[in-house]
Amino acid sequence: MRKIEIFDTTLRDGEQSAGVNLNSIEKLEIAKQLERLGVDVIEAGFPAASKGDLESVKLIASTVKGSSVTGLARCHPKDIDAAWEALKQSAEPRVHVFLATSPIHRQFKLKMTQDEVIERAVEAVQYAKKKFAKVQFSAEDACRTEREFLARVTEAVIRAGATVVNIPDTVGYITPKEIKDLFGYLSSHVPNIDQAILSAHCHDDLGMATANSLAAIEGGAGQVEGTINGIGERAGNVALEEVAVALHIRSDCYQASTDMKLNEIKRTSHLVSKLTGMIVPANKAVIGDNAFAHESGIHQDGVLKEKTTYEIITPELIGVNSNKLVLGKHSGRHAFKNKAAELGFELTEEKVNEAFQTFKDLADKKKEITDEDLFSILADKQTETTDVAHYALNMIQVQYGTEHIPTATVSVTLPDGKEVTEAATGSGSVEAIYNTLERLLEGPVKLHDYKINSVSGGRDALAEVYVRVRYNETESSGRGTAQDVLEASARAYLNAVNRVLTLEAQQKERQKAQV
């Protein structure tokens, strides 16, 4: 059974999804869960992109020890230096450098010849090798690159010191047969291929990312790169959970496996979905809510008689808990703390107390408390930032009627500690709330996106609202959770604004430090 390395780029390529904006605490929480999931490599970000990204990568690299942490870098010394600054304290410092190789990129983007591309790639790998024990090189748009030239590039960077060579299907163009043949070609036409691992990085523009990644493994790939839930640029990347489960279920076909702890998949998927605001479709393979639902009478009859008639994946395999009723209004703090640890959360005593109080308040209103409810409460507390003065919601009241203009009255504590109350109208209840909040804030807020999702089933389910706004010339996302949809909407709006205030405070601190 061949071991396939799993390279997770949720925090880098995944965060490039339109509208996704994670702060450093959220990135760290995802990284720690990826470590529990058992991925081999976590690509934590692009350190040279910004000072904030560098600091986030550094934080993850100094915390995560069970997975190797890497950062992306262009083939420029300053990018590689930034990556070293962020990663030098990690358990296994490694860097991921990239350069485009396809004719269309060489002609229109790089304006470089084949020889110039090879020269630039070799220089970058050699420079990176002076600092990093492990260097990965990616030939951007490799799947639209001439095979002979791609083989030349691969041989050259391996000779320069690359330990992994990534062959990305950057635009999701290739087919399973073609990528299998491509990896087979490189395996047989690159003389020093035994000195490096070939890696596949497939995008899903034509819906073939999983099929292409599995075909690449058949062709000789020893590493697969992707994201949780398949998030990423445009149509996204290959969903790593699909690859891992496919290799497990069809081990007879692929004769390959990963070290991923499959029973951590659902929890990881839930965390990524919650923090990014990207809802998992119900019919999503492996992790969708309907993945184990059977509507057809014939299917139901078959499953009742023998599950394997229509279920090739058991819910337990990916960590779906069939017993969803976990705690109630009479549960104590000790049981709550144990459940938090079971769900993978490591909270400070202060955060445990805050989360427990939120749980007790909810238990007084909600008949059944599910794992999903607890996960939402704990994730909110774990990623909550209180080190910067921010806006706090005190009270909200909405008047609505089909024959009346919706009116919202909101009380908020300002960053300076002053409590103020304001009212405004709108064409709907949510608009009335947001018009009121905008009157309370310093500066205009533009709402770009608004999403609402039910945390669990039932009429008393928690509502989760995700918004994307522009405030103080900065785009930000926010989340809010409450039993009432309107309260959740208000909390999400303020959360997005508070994230901007936190970012501005961090930038000021960095400027002071530089002075």
Q: Summarize pLDDT for 204-258 with one digit per residue, the tens.
A: 999 999 999 999 999 999 999 999 999 999 999 999 999 999 999 999 999 999 9
- State how many domains the chain has: 4
User: What does the pLDDT look like over 414-464, one tens digit per residue?
Assistant: 999 999 999 999 999 999 999 999 999 988 999 999 999 998 878 888 999
Task: Evaluate whether residue 80 is within a structural domain.
Answer: yes
Claim to verify: residue 22 and residue 161 sit in the same structural domain: yes
Is the pLDDT confidence value at 142 over 60?
A: yes
Half-sphere exposure of 192 (CA within 13 A, CB side): 16
Q: Which of 5, 1, 11 is nearest to 216 (CA)?
A: 5
Are 148 and 189 within one domain? Answer: yes
Whole-model pTM: value is 0.90
Same domain? 147 vs 240: yes
Query: What is the model's pLDDT at position 188?
Result: 97
Domain-located, residue 281: no
Q: Domain for residue 100, yes or no?
A: yes
Report yes or no on 20 lying in a domain: yes
Residues 367 and 474 in one domain: no
- How far is it, in rounded angstroms, from Cα 356 to Cα 381? 10
Q: Tell me which DSSP letter residue 397 carries.
A: E
User: What pLDDT is recorded for position 289?
Assistant: 86
16-31 burial, b at 16+ Cβ within 10 Å, e below that, comes to bbeebbbbbbbbbbbb
Task: Give how far the C-alpha of residue 32 lies from the chain's centroid of Cα atoms, to the nearest Å.
Answer: 12
Q: Are residues 95 and 212 in the same domain?
A: yes
Upper half-sphere CA count for residue 274 (Cβ side, 13 Å): 27
Q: Which of 340, 357, 382 is a domain's end point?
A: 382
CB count in 10 Å sphere of residue 514:
7
Q: Are residues 116 and 101 in the same domain?
A: yes
Q: Are residues 485 and 499 in the same domain?
A: yes
Q: What is the pLDDT of residues 329-387, one digit of tens each?
A: 778 888 888 888 888 888 888 888 999 999 888 888 887 788 888 888 888 888 876 65
Give the three-class secondary structure for 303: helix
Q: Is 514 helix (H, G, I), strand (E, B) or coil?
A: helix
Assigned domain for 10 exists: yes
Q: What is the pLDDT of residues 17-59, one digit of tens each?
A: 988 889 888 999 999 999 999 999 999 999 999 988 999 999 9
Last residue of a domain, one of 217, 248, 276: 276
What's the pLDDT at 299? Answer: 53
Q: Which domain holds residue 298?
A: 293-320
Q: Which residues contact 278 (CB under 8 A, 6 or more apart)?
A: 17, 20, 229, 231, 272
- Strands of 463-471's sheet, edge to edge? 445-454, 463-471, 474-482
Q: Tell me, yes or no, whether 286 lies in a domain.
A: no
428 and 334 within one domain: no
- CA distance linking residue 290 with residue 282, whole number of Å: 5
How big is the chain, counted in residues?
515
Q: Are 372 and 455 in contact (CB under 8 A)?
A: yes
Q: What are phi and psi of 481, to 5 degrees?
A: -130, 130
The answer on 298 and 369 residing in a single domain is: no
Q: Domain for residue 56, yes or no? A: yes
Residues 272 and 402 grouped into a single domain: no
Q: Are residues 93 and 242 in the same domain?
A: yes
| CB-based contacts of 300, cutoff 8 Å, min separation 6 | 294
- Residue 284 inside a domain? The answer is no
310: pLDDT confidence band, cut at 50, 70 and 90? low
- Sign of the alpha-carbon dihedral angle for 403, 404, 405, 411: negative
CA 326 from centre of chain = 27
For residue 245, what is the domain's CATH number?
A: 3.20.20.70
Of 293 and 400, the structure prediction assigns the larger pLDDT to 400
The CA distance from 495 to 474, in Å, is 14
Q: Give per-residue burial for 248-279: e unless 16+ CB within 10 Å, then b.
A: beeeeebebebebebebbbbbbbbbbbbbbbe
For 447, the enclosing helix (H) or strand (E) is: strand 445-454
Please tell me whether residues 174 and 227 are part of one structural domain: yes
